Structure 1
Amino acid sequence: MIKRSFLLSAVIVPAVMAFAQQYGGMWIPTEVNEKEMKEMGMKISAKQIFDPSKPSIKDAVVQFNGGCTAEIISPQGLLLTNHHCGYGQIQKHSTVENDYLADGFWAKDMNGELPNPGVTVDFVADIKEVTKQVLAGTDGLEGKAAEDIINKNLDAVKAGFKLEPWQKVVIKPVYYGNKYYAYIIETYKDIRLVGAPPSSIGKFGSDTDNWVWPRHTGDFSMFRIYADKNNKPAEYSKDNVPYKPKYFLPVSIKDKQENDFTFVFGFPGRTTEYLPAIAIEKVMNEIDPAMISVREVALKTLDEKMRADKETKIKYASKYASVANYWKKWIGEVEGLKKSNAVEKKAAYERSLMDKNPKLNSTLIELRRLYAGQGPFALNRAYYSEVVRNAETLTLANFYSNYADAVESGKMDAAIADNFKKRLTGIYQNFDGELDAKVTAKVLALYANKTPQNFLPKDFEKYKDENQNLKQIEEWSKNSVVTGRGTFNGTTAIKDIDKVFSDQKNLVQNLKNDPLMKLFTSMKKAYMDNTEEYFNTYQGHIDRLQKEYMALLMETDKDRKFFPDANSTLRVTYGKVAGSSPRDAVKYGYQTHIAGIMEKYVPKDYEFDVPEKLIDLYNKKDFGIYKDKTGDVPVNFTASNHTTGGNSGSPALDAYGNLIGLNFDRQWEGTMSDINYDPKLCRNIMVDTKYILFIIDKYADAKWLINEMKIVK
């Protein structure tokens, strides 16, 4: 039985949030904790959420472009997801003259909807547990011997599914390989942009408000799925027609109350709820702080140029947001782990189970030894990977290094070469060599100063001074093929990448003489020689022991109902509408309103500007049917649903399965929920459907979209 705990209610409506989940939960939809969901207030059945044999809510929920979640809200395939999930597509359609990021975009009808080559949505048609088939013949085996048999079994299980031409099967492990599930997936490839508010609405508060509450962000955008005349997946074509879904979500504009039941349905990316205490300690004290420090340097450097130059702001907008997102998340995660006493709690839990099952004692002792031994290598891995990732000059050098290796090893063919060119072109499209020279100079100095010499290339201490680094990097960059500023074969990679890559042998020779390539190659060699193999060896032992530890946990703790860690597969989480009290004398209500937007309004500020039309609507109190009992339009709200990255864009549903909000963030004090869910601190943040419809209707004058939906009043 799951223990119940009680939270201090929010400031707006005094109430007790009963039945709070002690451990959170991201449940496989075929195995939801239906009993507890109904105890907490759910009025529908688990079959109505997921039923492979007839239409159910799962038929309205899709994975959007491989990373976010989206949901269908009309019988014509209208798709709702976050603004930040559609940000890259909005950016690609934007120019300085026609800036949809700044001004928003709203198609006047279906003919005006914009195609997005490469964007996909995935439906989950069915889920089957295949543990017995996958693990057959592995008893008593471990390591490579077990992996070889599992891989053969996986191929056999996949081959056993009878699939339609537009379907595929994906099999994923859960509980660290103690169970396996097969997912039948249908992918649609013609996805068109329908509408998006301006960033001053969709990204209101930007990086200052990211991960924090109270929040006032209209983080939504709209797309549409198109299909062939038979309603099946097809590549983009003018002849395609709007997709007719098996199910679409009714949209509720009823007022929300503290303690209302909610559930979130989507594709959470990755959690590690079952790590031992020693692993949490390493994340909190070493790994997260290292990654935070590198991104902090990169972000500060980019921000200075973006504030001063509009073209740079547009070019780097998506990139900056991506880097800043997890930088801020990690800061909150560290604070939350400390505040919730996560290490002490997990250690106490381990001790309590060791009394019940002595086998756990030896397993945990060995896990502690392995994590302690891996520590220095894990820390250098964190620094190295973040330096290469955030200094795009080094990212580019890494791509060219891999290209040269492929050419010299004889593994290069036309398809591989085209893939390299495509990926490099994508980087160059939004790359400023002079700006990145500054970023590279600074993160190199940080790496040289923070990393023990035994992990670094010989004489790397010369990079400890960022000013000296900048002079050197800038000099090298001007003549480097890598940065796209130096010429080769009479042109640059930015101007004509095909011509640069047409002479493979000479290009490789040029790269070998390039000082930036020599710098990166020395860094990579030092990392591979001094870190990679040692880290991976430890990790292999940890992974095998973590599987054993997970099995022992499930065997020993009979009172706990376990759910698998998130792994980007379809999951259900549930909770209640609730405010929070994250710190002494601080109480947060569960709902924000447009009035709060006006309180934060800073004219012309890139984070807190407000469109004139929204100001006019507010001043006239022209709220239509979208105001709540306060007389204002609710913007965002919080609840105790256990969410993570990948849940962005997930539908928040009420007790009857109606759409009441769009998940887009978590409260900063609870971002450690990926590792340690704490019902007192962990809150997910959602855009209220009232605000979404208000913006579509009153602000965008796109009533034709409202008319497609089924509105629950």
Structure 2
Amino acid sequence: MKRQPLLLALLLSPTLVFAAEGMWTLDHPPLAQMRKELGTAPDAALLTKLMRGSARIAGGCSASFVSPEGLVLTNHHCVAECVEQLSTASQDRLRDGFLAKNRAEEANCPAMEVNRLESITDVTPQVRAATKGLSGEAFSNAFNAIKAKLAADCVGSDSKTQRCDVVDLYRGGQYKLYQYHRFQDVRLAFAPEQAIANFGGDPDNFNFPRYDLDMALIRVYENGQPAVVKDYLPFRREGAAAGEAVYVTGHPGATQRSLTVAQLQALRNHAIPARLLNMAEYRGRLAQYSRSGTEQARMANSELFYLENGFKVYKGELDALNDPQLFAAKQAEEAALRRFVASRPALAKTHGQAWAAIEQALARYEPLRTLDDQLAHGKAFNSQLFQIARTLVRGAVERSKPNEQRLPEFAEAGLPTLEAELFSAAPIYPEFEKIKLGFSLEKMRELLGADAPLVKRVLGKQSPDQLAAQWIDGSKLADVALRRQLWNGGEAAVRQSQDPFIQLALSLDDEARALRKRVERELDAVVQKNAELIAQARFAMKGDSVYPDATFTLRLSYGRVEGWQEGEQAVPPFTTLGGTFERATGAEPFALPASWLNARSRLNPAQPFNLSSSNDIIGGNSGSPMVNARGEVVGLVFDGNIHSIGGAFAYDPRLNRTVAVHAGAIAETLDKVYDAQALLKELLGR
């Protein structure tokens, strides 16, 4: 992903925002810029409709409401875990697909939560007042406490339907309170076969042309009935046209465009290479397990999919950070901001040392990184059973504290989501858990060394595989009723439990908490406080013409349906249904399901299937609606092209592209492949 000189010049500009660049908050869209570049911009009514019609799947995806009766459109890969959980050895719904012929057949997705954004409130003054003059652990404690208080006050007594998050924007430049309506009764209505939802598999991932029906329909319920949704986005069967102006409203997960050079160096030199090495080995272990049998392949399916996707993302990010031109542009951009600060004595006195403070904190953290990953973040114990045990152990202690003194994940405002996950009836497969846990224990020993105190205390005289088998065979935490009993019983019940994972979590908790506190004090608090100063300096230099890094909050991006120039080759913006059959080979991952082969003669071969646009997106945008200027859904975002991965650090308007399923292809296949007439009628508003 080499950067051309033109892009380098654009990156070096201290004030210019590229055409179509930006993941903008809906309370601060660049309307004048959009009118200039697109000839149109949403008015206040449309912005409200887009906010209320968009949705967030709490596990990490985007979606949209597409009917007044709670029907929600998202990606297949965003519901794949639910489809996997609803499958059995005799009925593989990932392989065969799922269609509810009526609402009585819609199947509950364990622990899935859908959020709808209701309001955004600026709480920057409250957060600043609470943390003023503090540093280190005092800063962290006050920061967490004020966020917990603001969220709890926002939720009030209605935690079952309300969710509130204090969101850090501009790396601490602003703090906003996002209030959501939460839907925790989510049911699957339709999902195609994985073979067509992920047609092309890993070879085609982050590439274009694409031929994927990466879509699914779920429905949100309240009080046992389909939720009544006033604001939804109409579905336009004709879909998007070449050159058409389009908006994407979704929840991009994270970008790093405003990180300091020191932070980017830490990612490039340490964090990302370590992740890639571990993921590559883990992928090999999972692939080997998947090949050992049909049932093993089914159990590992989702884990392997997300792992391969993540590996490609991190590889693309590392390639971008290793691009000398891009990194030089980042260095020059930071240097320009630091010169601006230095030229203003008052600003230099209060803000001038922020970059050095972050660099020094990162250097102090580096010797702790591996132990922090393995112990505090629990990567040494990769098992759902251990995560359940740690939640039970910590929850017993944290829930006895005042809300504002708890670890953030146990604050009152977030407990409904945590409890839904803890008491999920999703199956846990012991043999698969042994594979995952054995590997992670093996990596702990490798990374920390056989003589490390943690390794010796955990493994004793046993091998990782022996210990994993012993713990998993001896645990009863797969029993939801037992988990509920321990949760309700509090600290006394947890400490009396003889479950091996509870005992493990108890034995590690003091050390893990101490390490977490140290990292919060020496790294997180320093970075947060000084990032606030850098954000303030950036505002002083550029004003409010900048957008914040992605934070898994609702954003709007704008662009046009268009392809791009890849070297000497022009990449057109559309693929067709007919092209899918030409690309098919009959062998995975290019094998079409029988339903498609049987329907070939009924399908319109010229119907656009997937499309590309110049919208600026990143991971988390999966499932985002692509809408036209009237707010009608004309596409369903499911990916970006390979250049968009580098968009974590910079946007290239010539190369970065969003990839979506064309609305016409969704309607055509629901009609002619799946005979999903009731859902299609509802989707089309008939």
| Greater Cα shift, 369-378 or 283-292 | 369-378
- What's the counterpart of residue 194 of structure 1? 189
- What's the counterpart of residue 611 of structure 1? 593
- Tell me if the contact between 2:575 and 2:610 (Cα under 8 Å) persists in the aligned partners: yes
Residue in structure 1 matching 2:610, options 636, 655, 663: 636
Aligned equivalents of 2:422 and 2:117: distance in 1? 33
Residue in structure 2 matching 1:696, options 653, 667, 670: 670
Aligned equivalents of 2:390 and 2:237: distance in 1? 53
Aligned equivalents of 1:349 and 1:420: distance in 2? 41
- Tell me if the contact between 2:147 and 2:166 (Cα under 8 Å) persists in the aligned partners: no
- What's the counterpart of residue 623 of structure 1? 603
Residues 655-694 of structure 1: pairs in structure 2 closer than 5 A: 655-694=629-668
- Tell me if the contact between 1:136 and 1:153 (Cα under 8 Å) persists in the aligned partners: no
Residue-by-residue CA offset, 1:534-557 (whole Å, 9 max, x unaligned)? 575123212211111111111123
- Residue 294 in 1 paired to residue 268 in 2? no
Aligned equivalents of 2:608 and 2:395: distance in 1? 55
- Tell me if the contact between 1:401 and 1:521 (Cα under 8 Å) persists in the aligned partners: no
2:428 is aligned with what amino acid?
A: N
Query: 3-state SS of the aligned residue for 1:85?
Result: helix
Aligned equivalents of 1:595 and 1:587: distance in 2? 20
Residue in structure 2 matching 1:36, options 28, 33, 36: 33
- What's the counterpart of residue 621 of structure 2? 647
Residue in structure 2 matching 1:184, options 172, 179, 193: 179
Aligned equivalents of 1:409 and 1:244: distance in 2? 36
Aligned equivalents of 2:501 and 2:73: distance in 1? 48
- What's the counterpart of residue 554 of structure 2? 570
Residue in structure 2 matching 1:337, options 300, 312, 321: 321
Q: Would the alpha carbon gap of residues 553 and 611 (structure 1) be closer, same or farther in structure 2, given more than 3 Å must change?
A: same
TM value normalised by structure 1: 0.78
Residue in structure 1 matching 2:464, options 473, 477, 497: 473
- What's the counterpart of residue 598 of structure 1? 581
Q: Would the alpha carbon gap of residues 446 and 199 (structure 1) be closer, same or farther in structure 2, given more than 3 Å must change?
A: same
Residues 340-379 of structure 1: pairs in structure 2 closer than 5 A: 341-358=325-342, 359=348, 362-378=353-369
1:306 is aligned with what amino acid?
A: S
Aligned equivalents of 2:388 and 2:151: distance in 1? 36
Aligned equivalents of 2:493 and 2:445: distance in 1? 33
Aligned equivalents of 2:255 and 2:319: distance in 1? 17
Query: 3-state SS of the aligned residue for 2:463?
Result: helix
Residues 553-568 of structure 1: pairs in structure 2 closer than 5 A: 553-558=538-543, 561-568=545-552
Aligned equivalents of 2:163 and 2:502: distance in 1? 46
Q: Would the alpha carbon gap of residues 352 and 410 (structure 1) be closer, same or farther in structure 2, given more than 3 Å must change?
A: closer
- Tell me if the contact between 2:637 and 2:661 (Cα under 8 Å) persists in the aligned partners: yes
- Residue 392 in 1 paired to residue 382 in 2? yes
TM value normalised by structure 2: 0.81
Residue-by-residue CA offset, 1:287-310 (whole Å, 9 max, x unaligned)? 011111112212211112213311
Aligned equivalents of 2:158 and 2:428: distance in 1? 40
- What's the counterpart of residue 96 of structure 1? 89
Question: How far is the alpha carbon of 1:34 from its aligned partner?
Answer: 0.7
Aligned equivalents of 1:88 and 1:183: distance in 2? 27
Residue-by-residue CA offset, 1:95-152 (whole Å, 9 max, x unaligned)? 2333221111222233332333543322222223333455457665556369648945
1:200 is aligned with what amino acid?
A: A
Question: How far is the alpha carbon of 1:249 from its aligned partner?
Answer: 2.1
- Residue 310 in 1 paired to residue 294 in 2? yes
Residue in structure 1 matching 2:212, options 217, 221, 241: 217
1:650 is aligned with what amino acid?
A: S
Residues 10-49 of structure 1: pairs in structure 2 closer than 5 A: 21=18, 24-41=21-38, 43-49=40-46
Consecutive unaligned residues of structure 2, counting only runs of 5 or more, are 8-15, 343-347, 402-409, 411-415
Aligned equivalents of 1:136 and 1:536: distance in 2? 19
Aligned equivalents of 2:50 and 2:32: distance in 1? 19
Aligned equivalents of 1:390 and 1:202: distance in 2? 33
Question: How far is the alpha carbon of 1:186 from its aligned partner?
Answer: 1.9
Residue in structure 2 matching 1:256, options 241, 249, 252: 241
- What's the counterpart of residue 204 of structure 1? 199
Consecutive unaligned residues of structure 1, counting only runs of 5 or more, are 8-18, 227-233, 625-630
Question: How far is the alpha carbon of 1:699 from its aligned partner?
Answer: 0.5
Aligned equivalents of 1:107 and 1:409: distance in 2? 41
Q: Would the alpha carbon gap of residues 687 and 536 (structure 1) be closer, same or farther in structure 2, given more than 3 Å must change?
A: farther
Q: Would the alpha carbon gap of residues 557 and 477 (structure 1) be closer, same or farther in structure 2, given more than 3 Å must change?
A: closer
Residue in structure 2 matching 1:275, options 259, 282, 297: 259
- Tell me if the contact between 2:256 and 2:648 (Cα under 8 Å) persists in the aligned partners: yes
- Tell me if the contact between 2:187 and 2:219 (Cα under 8 Å) persists in the aligned partners: yes
Question: How far is the alpha carbon of 1:332 from its aligned partner?
Answer: 1.4
- Tell me if the contact between 1:336 and 1:672 (Cα under 8 Å) persists in the aligned partners: yes
- What's the counterpart of residue 429 of structure 1? 427
1:98 is aligned with what amino acid?
A: Q
- Tell me if the contact between 2:373 and 2:379 (Cα under 8 Å) persists in the aligned partners: no
Question: How far is the alpha carbon of 1:383 from its aligned partner?
Answer: 6.0
- Residue 588 in 1 paired to residue 571 in 2? yes
- Tell me if the contact between 1:24 and 1:642 (Cα under 8 Å) persists in the aligned partners: yes
| Greater Cα shift, 312-321 or 646-655 | 312-321
- What's the counterpart of residue 705 of structure 1? 679
Identical columns (%): 21
Aligned equivalents of 2:501 and 2:433: distance in 1? 22
2:272 is aligned with what amino acid?
A: D
Q: Would the alpha carbon gap of residues 404 and 601 (structure 1) be closer, same or farther in structure 2, given more than 3 Å must change?
A: same
Aligned equivalents of 1:154 and 1:396: distance in 2? 28
Question: How far is the alpha carbon of 1:424 from its aligned partner?
Answer: 7.7
Q: Would the alpha carbon gap of residues 451 and 79 (structure 1) be closer, same or farther in structure 2, given more than 3 Å must change?
A: same
- Tell me if the contact between 1:122 and 1:187 (Cα under 8 Å) persists in the aligned partners: yes
Q: Would the alpha carbon gap of residues 708 and 574 (structure 1) be closer, same or farther in structure 2, given more than 3 Å must change?
A: same
- What number of residue pairs does the alignment pair up? 648
Question: How far is the alpha carbon of 1:325 from its aligned partner?
Answer: 2.7
1:598 is aligned with what amino acid?
A: F
Residues 49-64 of structure 1: pairs in structure 2 closer than 5 A: 49-51=46-48, 56-64=49-57
- Residue 457 in 1 paired to residue 466 in 2? no
Say which one has the larger Rg.
Answer: 1
Aligned equivalents of 1:45 and 1:155: distance in 2? 34
Aligned equivalents of 2:6 and 2:685: distance in 1? 34
Q: Would the alpha carbon gap of residues 612 and 60 (structure 1) be closer, same or farther in structure 2, given more than 3 Å must change?
A: same
Query: 3-state SS of the aligned residue for 1:687?
Result: strand
Question: How far is the alpha carbon of 1:317 from its aligned partner?
Answer: 1.8
Q: Would the alpha carbon gap of residues 679 and 574 (structure 1) be closer, same or farther in structure 2, given more than 3 Å must change?
A: same
| Greater Cα shift, 342-351 or 439-448 | 439-448
2:185 is aligned with what amino acid?
A: D
Q: Would the alpha carbon gap of residues 555 and 174 (structure 1) be closer, same or farther in structure 2, given more than 3 Å must change?
A: same
Q: Would the alpha carbon gap of residues 383 and 261 (structure 1) be closer, same or farther in structure 2, given more than 3 Å must change?
A: farther
Query: 3-state SS of the aligned residue for 1:125?
Result: strand
- Tell me if the contact between 2:236 and 2:633 (Cα under 8 Å) persists in the aligned partners: yes
2:574 is aligned with what amino acid?
A: Q
Q: Would the alpha carbon gap of residues 581 and 162 (structure 1) be closer, same or farther in structure 2, given more than 3 Å must change?
A: same
Aligned equivalents of 1:550 and 1:177: distance in 2? 7
Aligned equivalents of 1:477 and 1:426: distance in 2? 23
Aligned equivalents of 1:659 and 1:410: distance in 2? 43
Question: How far is the alpha carbon of 1:81 from its aligned partner?
Answer: 0.7
- Tell me if the contact between 1:77 and 1:245 (Cα under 8 Å) persists in the aligned partners: no
